């Protein structure tokens, strides 16, 4: 079974631009979560999508948004990029239902550098 | 709020020796705990989880973890370390959210270095 895939793997943007990152979950997984990883803040939860609906959102500004498609693939968008948005963005999928205890499986991440 | 703490930024151990990576947790209600490993320029790989049941949980690559409710700890262990175990290890706690979903709250990570 193929794992979680993320595209692109690396991205360089300049301040003020916007960026879209893509995630394809493991086949059959309906929940997709996004995390941001930085040396200073560590791993932080961005949001979770299930059945095309955002169920939960972390403490990030509105410049960070996402969506999920009917095939469970997900995209996240960051508008008006700031230098501090430079990070590894990780996508994770799981066989999520209510009160789910299944583990999340992570993709390799997209390394975003903002210049 | 749910949280986990990893008190050691780095752990050094000689190959063949046992290793322990420490994690303590603070949760309201039942804890759902996880260990993940991250190799350079890679995503996180799931190692093991504790939901309920036996306090000793066995996972991938020979790793195990011991859940201790009285000490609120969930330490990761391996009887005999390998150089290839050198990586960044994260402890995490699952938070069930009111929207019906959940999220992982991670510790700050512990860099494990296994030397010959």
Q: Comparing C-alpha atoms, which of A95, A72, A83 is closest to residue A25?
A: A72
Mean pLDDT for B79-92 is 97
Q: Work out the pLDDT band at B39, boundaries 50, 70, 90.
A: very high
Residue A26 per-residue DSSP state: P
Give, in degrees to the nearest 5, the angle at Cα A98 between B109 and B45.
30
Residue A23 neighbours by CB distance under 10 Å = 27
Candidates B45, B51, B106; nearest CB to A43: B106
Q: How do strand B19-21 and strand B24-26 relate by DSSP bridges?
A: unpaired
Contact B43 A106 (CB under 8 A): yes
Please indicate if any CB of chain A lies within 8 Å of the CB of B63: no
Average pLDDT over residues B96-104: 76
pLDDT at B62 (0 to 100): 96
Q: Is B27 part of the contact surface with chain A (CB cutoff 8 Å)?
A: no
Q: Which of B41, B43, B101 sits opposite A55 (nearest CB)?
A: B101
Q: Which residues 12-51 of A are in CB contact (within 8 Å) with B?
A: 31, 33, 35, 42-43, 45, 48, 50
Average pLDDT, chain B: 93
Q: Per residue of chain A (115 residues), give pLDDT as tens.
A: 689 999 999 999 999 999 999 999 999 898 999 999 999 899 999 999 998 999 889 999 999 999 999 999 999 999 999 999 999 999 999 886 654 567 899 999 999 999 9
Cβ–Cβ < 8 Å for A50, A104: no
Distance from CA of A55 to the nearest CA of B (A): 5
Nearest-Cα distance to chain B for A113, in Å, is: 14
Cβ neighbours of A109 (radius 10 Å): 24
């Amino acid at each position: 079974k193929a794992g979680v895939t993320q595209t692109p793997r690396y991205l360089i943007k300049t301040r003020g631009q916007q960026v879209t990152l893509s995630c394809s979950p493991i086949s059959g997984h309906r929940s997709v979560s996004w995390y941001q990883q930085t040396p200073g803040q560590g791993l932080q939860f961005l949001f979770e999508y299930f059945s095309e609906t955002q169920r939960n959102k972390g403490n990030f500004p509105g410049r960070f948004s996402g969506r999920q498609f009917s095939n469970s693939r997900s995209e996240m968008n960051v508008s008006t990029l700031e230098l501090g948005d430079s990070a590894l963005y990780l996508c994770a999928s799981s066989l999520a239902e209510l009160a789910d205890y299944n583990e999340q499986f992570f993709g390799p991440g997209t390394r975003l550098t903002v210049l | 709020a749910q949280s986990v703490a990893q008190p050691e930024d780095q752990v050094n151990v000689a190959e063949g020796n046992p290793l322990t990576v420490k994690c303590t947790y603070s949760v309201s209600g039942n804890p759902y705990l996880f260990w993940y490993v991250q190799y350079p320029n890679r995503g996180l790989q799931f190692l093991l989880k504790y939901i309920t049941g036996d306090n000793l949980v066995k996972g991938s690559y020979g790793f195990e973890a011991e859940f201790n409710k009285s000490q609120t700890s969930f330490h990761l262990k391996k009887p005999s370390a390998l150089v290839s175990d050198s990586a960044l290890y994260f402890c995490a706690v699952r938070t069930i959210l009111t929207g019906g979903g959940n999220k992982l709250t991670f510790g700050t990570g512990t860099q494990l270095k296994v030397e010959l």
